[in-house]
Amino acid sequence: MKEIKFVLNGKEVSVKADPLKRLLDVLREDKKMTGVKEGCGEGECGACAVLKDGVLVNSCMIPLGAAEGSEIITPEGIRDTEKGKCIIDAFGTAGAVQCGFCTPGMMMATDALLTQNKKPSVDEIREALSGNLCRCTGYDLIVKGVQIASERGKDLW
Amino acid sequence: MVDSYRPKDLKDALRIRGEYGSTPLAGGTDLMVRYQSWAGTLPLFTNSVMFVGHLHELKYIKKIENSLEVGGTATLSMVADHPDTPRVLRDAVLSIAAPALRNNATLTGNICNASPAGDSVCALYALDALIRLEKNGSSRELPVVEFITGPGRTLLGKDELVTAITIPLKNSSIDNFTKVGTRRANALSKLSFTGIADYKNGRIDSIALTFGAVGPTVVRSVELEKKLLGLSRAELKAGKESILSDYSTVIVPIDDQRSTAVYRKKVALNLLDKFINEVADYE
Amino acid sequence: MGSNIALKEDDIKGVKMAAKISIPVLRIDAREKAGGWTHYIADYEFDNLQHGRFLRSERARAKIIEIRKPDFPEGYYYIDASDIPPGGKNNIQMIKDDWRVFADGDVRYIGETIALILGPEKQIVLDLLNQIEVVYEDLVPSFTFQDALSCKGGAIHGTDNIFAEFLLNIGDVDNAFPGAVRVVEGVYETGFQEHLYMETQGIVATWEDEKITLYASSQCPFYIRKSVAGTLGVPLGDIRVKQAATGGAFGGKEHFPDVIATPLAVAVNKIKKPVAMIFDRIEDISFTCKRHPGRISIKTGLDRDNNIVAMEIDTLVNGGAYESSTPIVLQRAIIHGLGVYRIPNARIHGRAVATNTFPSDAYRGFGAPQGLFAIEMHMSHIADEIGMPVSQFKRKHFIKTGDITITNAKMHDDVKLPGMLAKIEEMSDYSEKVKKYEDDPLRGIGLSFVNHGGGFTGNGEQAVIKGVVKMKRLEDGKAGLYVSVVEMGQGLQTALRKIASKELELDYLDIVYDNPDTDIVPDSGPTCASRSTMVVGFLVQECAKKLKIKWDEGVGAEAEHVYTHPEEFVWEQETLQGDAYPSYGWGVNVVEVELDPFTYEVKTTGVWAVWDVGVTIDETIMQGQSSGGVIQALGYASIEKCELKNGAFMQRTMADYTIPTSLDFPEVHTVFIDNPYKYGPSGAKGAGELVFDAAPPAYAEAVQNAIGKRIYEIPVTPEMIMEALR
Ligand SMILES: Cc1cc2nc3c(=O)[nH]c(=O)nc-3n(C[C@@H](O)[C@@H](O)[C@H](O)COP(=O)(O)OP(=O)(O)OC[C@H]3O[C@@H](n4cnc5c(N)ncnc54)[C@H](O)[C@@H]3O)c2cc1C
Ligand code: FES
Ligand code: FES
């Protein structure tokens, strides 16, 4: 057990845990950030996606100790921001949400993409979402959701 | 439960490594999956762990004269994004998983994992990459072909860390990396191929041909490559069948849950065939 | 929650209105899910929660000689069949009850539950589990159709390993075959398929208010209630099941949750503490039901004018070690066996066999995809043999309104296939491309036609389900809707609200409809068989009409509506004769591909779909069903390989069992045609499974068209293509 500090959704936090505990478990269990989902626990699905120091990563493969001192943003950290609302609304408009289990991760991937590329093409969107698996939608309407977010949010990113 | 360490800098890391022989953990994308246990429990590490992914001294890529030096903790995304990264390596790295994984996983980790299906490894074999190993007080450099000795096995000393990968930049005229995965993206390799070649005065001056996931390590035969040096386009074309038959003796894949030995071998040879044609038809 | 969601202007813009109800609205659950507010079962919190893990069989077929256990620390339990209370049964009440809660004395498949280990600390539970040693005496296992039919190692089920056997017949096959001038035969095979819902299986069983209450990721809360009550030997009302938000199901959460719920309930009954079982992904892929593998042999006789005069089909499906819903899956496979074609003389023999593999169960399509793949490929093979364009040959045999079906009933539907074919031609340029690709060794295009019967087969809705829905006027001009069908991603919470609000002339947001709780809602049946919108939606519509009449009675006014079978549809269950389904959804797909000649990888370059689902309740929701169903089906047809090795699935991780990513397939171009069905809400028919059925044969046809070799099997892997081209 160690006391480990990092910045979570803009606030400095400190967690007492084994540094080898998965960041995913720390976020879900210790910090009750259940917007971070576990779809596979093996890096395949992107349901556990968070931003670490500004880039998209899968929290199921990161031990807490490797996140020490870093800035972590979970779906809880962006859903109430202008950007988050924009993505959520766009997903709603497009019909991008079905069972919704993949969707918070999709929101994180969308934010990461739009941060890098304000006006991505369909191919670029599909590439950026390729690590976020969705079994319900077949992706078409998620791609559309990202397009709508990029259009509506052109002044946000 | 095992101990874990978070060194403050490289020096500290080398000290810890020397003292406890802790397993370096960079991106964790191999280790955390390999030791994965029930969600909510700790991964099943048996040796102590040392986090190295945060070591800033090693998080760099730079061009030094005619080489590209990739720092020991540089991520796959950094490698893909660098303008001087050779094309086959960039293609190989971009064929690995998806953005979120590449943002976190390191090139060093992909090499040290020593999987015959490691995609960057297939390219690095062809590029004659050198692995720099450091320990408290000394360092050495090994060609990647020597560094990796078998599936999951390397010459990494118990007290050493990989601190850099040096890739000679050759500016080859003809190159190709092809990955055949289990699906079109975010896929593990059924097999992979890298080919690099160049002519001088109408004759093959350099050539490298490597095959991933068709043997216990990435396959490269310097002996067979030597036979190709000095060939003209016409000779290469004429000798194609015999080259393919030579290579069919060194490509010895297996059946597993991802593909069959027959398929792997046939496609590896097809890709070689295609590359030889490309080389023979160049210009 | 969710009530203050305002629809943006663009939410309605640009939608072609087929019927008013089709205009998309903002899905009621979209915002909360997207932002991660929605709680799925793993997100719930319980005091004093215990964590459970199964001790599973490592052998496909063996006697259990001994189980050696370590000492269990205080608070840790080993729960097995001996913990089932007196009056209870070590059986899971599904359709039959042969599946055991706990293996007892012997094991019949790898992964079978032997015991449940539980306690407060997961790590200690794991350590205990690892110390348990089961001593087996191996028996001879049986895995393949051949093993099963020859009763290798002795019968697993009954005396002959046959879970179910049916024979369907129309016309006179034996007399018709001799008149044929040409006979074409083929054997068609389909593989296992894993549902791979993104949320793994999970249930928490608790002891609340002196009652066992289960919170479940589930399609069918009342199935869980029935199975748990049966196992414990208590009245149904003693068990309460609350559905948790469900992260995808596709049939995988129809019966399988019973396999988790029953052991958990036995434990809770004993220890009176909440116990959670949330599967890890590896556990979920390795140890949950898959789609039934099928082997379908077809023999067809043609006359001089290339009309089909007779067809004989033999259908086999692998049910695994226990029966589960296998007989009904088989029924659907054979009833859909002739596809969309009118065959004057046909005989279909179907058998479902028992093997020592993980029990197969419901998966979107429920047998129909296997039957439809076979008939569609076979039709293309005949066309190839006689040198007629596939579309022409298929079209020539289209069933028409009033024609006789394989169950000797009239086709009641207004069949619009010719128009749908014309539409997809226009969208995809199919026939032009067929010509263009004739001499192109790398490109190909395929065309498939399907139908899918909505609701339970035959009189199941009447005889077995008898669905009930209730509505009630609430405060503030709102209305409560009480049904047992669940939202699992398909958009039902939005669709049923729209249906109810249309009749009540309310805003759809003013319909209150929570995840079902068996103590509150009536049993309107399970969420499956494409029945929720068509059948339950119709009950909701009729119920809303009743409530509308009583609306002025004020707050508290209630209405109830019970299913009644339309009289014009008759069915005899014993002989499977009559109207198998009151209506069908219809579909046409075109898939276009390009082959890499060096790696034999196939790139899909175009996908088109035209559907007749009556009327869409919401165009956007149906668009999502179309894209999602087609892509899932293309996965089944191409990359979703799931093989057995000595009774265990070889692909156990998401890295090895590969489902489509955003880069595997292009956009699905979808069009819905209007064809209202009189007993569907606003004319809607079943749709959720239909959208899965058509893509596999279209894909396989496209590949065979590209490589110039016939394809008989899915998934069509690059390995198979290489072999075919040798
Ligand atoms: C979902 C998923 C998809 C993947 N897809 C692909 C793919 O398509 N192609 C492919 O090639 N790989 C793939 N991989 C594996 C790939 O992610 C890893 O090989 C990755 O590159 C390892 O880097 P890492 O930093 O995460 O390594 P870690 O897991 O941290 O470590 C890997 C190994 O390297 C050692 N190591 C790390 N740093 C050092 C150092 N500085 N000195 C000495 N030893 C060190 C570790 O001790 C360990 O043995 C995939 C993995 C996952 C989870
Ligand atoms: S749970 Fe982390 S990638 Fe699937
Ligand atoms: S919406 Fe269900 S997995 Fe994406």
Query: Is residue C399 pLDDT above 80, yes or no?
Result: yes
pLDDT number for residue C262: 98
Mean pLDDT of B221-240: 97
Ligand nearest to the CA of B104: 1
| Look-up of token digits 């503490």 | C273
pLDDT number for residue C20: 79
From B51, B77, B98, residue closest to A65, measured CB to CB: B51
Query: Is residue C490 pLDDT above 70, yes or no?
Result: yes
The domains located in chain B, with CATH, are 4-168 (3.30.465.10), 174-280 (3.30.390.50)
| Local confidence band at C8 (pLDDT 50, 70, 90 cut-offs) | very low
Tell me, in angstroms, the distance from the centre of ligand 2 to residue C281's CA. Answer: 10
Alpha carbon distance C174, C183 (integer Å): 13
Mean pLDDT of C250-265: 98
Instruction: Give which of B182, B262, B265 to mutate to test C binding, by max C Cβ within 10 Å.
Output: B182
**A100 C-beta closer than 6 A to ligand 3:** yes
Tell me, in angstroms, the distance from the centre of ligand 3 to residue A142's CA. Answer: 10
Express each pLDDT in B52-75 by its tens digit: 999 999 999 999 999 999 999 999
pLDDT number for residue A48: 98
C-alpha distances in Å from residue C662, one per residue of C89, C245, C481, C610: 46, 25, 36, 22
Q: What 8-state DSSP symbol labels residue C358?
A: P
DSSP string, C544-574: HHHHHHHGGG-TT-EEEEE----TT--EETT
Q: Which residues of B touch A40 (CB under 8 A)?
A: none
Are C354 and C321 within 8 A, CB to CB? yes
Cβ distance B100 to A109 less than 8 Å, yes or no, reads: yes
pLDDT number for residue C581: 96
Query: Is residue C6 pLDDT above 60, yes or no?
Result: no
The domains located in chain A, with CATH, are 2-74 (3.10.20.30), 79-152 (1.10.150.120)
Express each pLDDT in C319-334 by its tens digit: 999 999 999 999 999 9
pLDDT number for residue C15: 35
pLDDT number for residue B47: 98
Q: Is the dihedral of CA B154, B158, B163, B168 positive or negative?
A: negative
Mean pLDDT of C18-27: 83
C-alpha distances in Å from residue A116, one per residue of A14, A81, C201: 30, 18, 36
Q: Which residues of C touch A102 (CB under 8 A)?
A: 198
From A41, A63, A131, residue closest to B39, measured CB to CB: A41
Q: Write down which chains contact chain B via at least 3 CB pairs under 8 A.
A: A, C
How far off is chain C from B67, nearest CA to CA, in Å? 33
Q: What 8-state DSSP symbol labels residue B244?
A: H
Q: Find out whether the peptide bond into C715 is cis, omega within 30 degrees of 0.
A: yes
DSSP string, C659-698: PP-TTTS--EEEEEE----TTSGGG----TTHHHHSHHHH
- Count of CB atoms situated within 10 Å of the CB of B34: 14
pLDDT number for residue C10: 44
| Local confidence band at C465 (pLDDT 50, 70, 90 cut-offs) | very high
Query: Is residue C678 pLDDT above 60, yes or no?
Result: yes
Sheet of C511-512: strand order equals C511-512, C479-482, C468-473, C558-562
Express each pLDDT in B258-269 by its tens digit: 999 999 999 999
How far off is chain C from B271, nearest CA to CA, in Å? 6
Alpha carbon C595 to its chain's center? 31
DSSP string, C322-353: S-TTHHHHHHHHHHTTTTTB--SSEEEEEEEE
**Which two tokens mark C415?**
């069949």
Q: Which residues of B touch A38 (CB under 8 A)?
A: 39
Q: Is the dihedral of CA A41, C641, C371, C150 positive or negative?
A: negative
Tell me, in angstroms, the distance from the centre of ligand 2 to residue C57's CA. Answer: 28
- Count of CB atoms situated within 10 Å of the CB of C552: 8
- C8 vs B148: which has the higher pLDDT: B148
What are the φ/ψ torsions at residue C175 (nearest 5 degrees)?
-80, -20
pLDDT, mean over chain B: 97
Express each pLDDT in B191-212 by its tens digit: 999 999 999 999 999 999 999 9
**A150 C-beta closer than 6 A to ligand 3:** no
Q: Which residues of B touch A29 (CB under 8 A)?
A: 40
Closest by CA position to C584, among listed C327, C410, C380:
C410
Share of chain B above pLDDT 90, in %: 98
Half-sphere exposure of C484 (CA within 13 A, CB side): 25
| Local confidence band at B171 (pLDDT 50, 70, 90 cut-offs) | confident
Express each pLDDT in A77-117 by its tens digit: 999 999 999 999 999 999 999 999 999 999 999 999 999 99
pLDDT number for residue B283: 77
Q: Which residues of C touch A42 (CB under 8 A)?
A: 281-282, 653-655
Query: Is residue C4 pLDDT above 70, yes or no?
Result: no
Alpha carbon distance C239, C253 (integer Å): 19
Ligand nearest to the CA of B153: 1
**Which two tokens mark C62?**
């063996």
Instruction: Give which of A24, A34, A99, A108 to mutate to test C binding, by max C Cβ within 10 Å.
Output: A99
End-to-end CA distance of chain B: 61
Alpha carbon distance C295, C581 (integer Å): 24
The domains located in chain C, with CATH, are 13-42+460-562 (3.30.365.10), 50-139+196-286 (3.30.365.10), 294-457+577-725 (3.30.365.10)
Three-class DSSP category at C576: coil
Mean pLDDT of C589-597: 98
Query: Is residue B133 pLDDT above 70, yes or no?
Result: yes
Interstrand relation of B4-5 and B49-51 (parallel, antiparallel or unpaired): parallel
**A146 C-beta closer than 6 A to ligand 3:** no
Alpha carbon distance B164, B61 (integer Å): 9
From C35, C250, C621, residue closest to A104, measured CB to CB: C35
Q: Give the nearest ligand 2 atom to B100 CA.
A: 3
Sheet of C113-119: strand order equals C77-79, C113-119, C50-56, C275-278, C202-208, C211-217, C239-244
**B24 C-beta closer than 6 A to ligand 1:** yes
Are C340 and C450 within 8 A, CB to CB? yes
| Local confidence band at A153 (pLDDT 50, 70, 90 cut-offs) | very high
Cβ distance A42 to B33 less than 8 Å, yes or no, reads: yes
Closest by CA position to A13, among listed A86, A57, A69, A56:
A69
Half-sphere exposure of C134 (CA within 13 A, CB side): 22
Mean pLDDT of B9-37: 98
What residue ranges line ligand 2, CB within 6 angstroms? A 38-41, 43-48, 58, 60
Are A101 and C199 within 8 A, CB to CB? yes
pLDDT number for residue B260: 97
Cβ distance A61 to B2 less than 8 Å, yes or no, reads: no
What are the φ/ψ torsions at residue C162 (nearest 5 degrees)?
-100, 115
Alpha carbon distance C212, C207 (integer Å): 5
Q: What 8-state DSSP symbol labels residue A63?
A: B
Query: Is residue C2 pLDDT above 70, yes or no?
Result: no
Q: Is the dihedral of CA C61, C65, C68, C69 positive or negative?
A: positive
- Count of CB atoms situated within 10 Å of the CB of A122: 15
Three-class DSSP category at A76: helix
pTM: 0.97
What are the φ/ψ torsions at residue C188 (nearest 5 degrees)?
-115, 135
Hey, is the C-beta of C392 within 8 angstroms of any chain B C-beta?
A: no
C-alpha distances in Å from residue C134, one per residue of B222, C114, C129: 52, 10, 11
Three-class DSSP category at B48: coil
Express each pLDDT in C498-533 by its tens digit: 999 999 999 999 999 999 999 999 999 999 989 999
Q: What 8-state DSSP symbol labels residue B197?
A: E
Alpha carbon C26 to its chain's center? 26
pLDDT, mean over chain A: 98
| Look-up of token digits 């955003």 | C662
Q: What 8-state DSSP symbol labels residue C514?
A: P
Using only the alpha carbons of chain C, give its radius of gyration: 25
pLDDT number for residue C66: 98
Q: Which residues of A touch B80 (CB under 8 A)?
A: none
pLDDT, mean over chain C: 96
Strand partners of residue C350: C166, C315
Query: Is residue C1 pLDDT above 50, yes or no?
Result: no
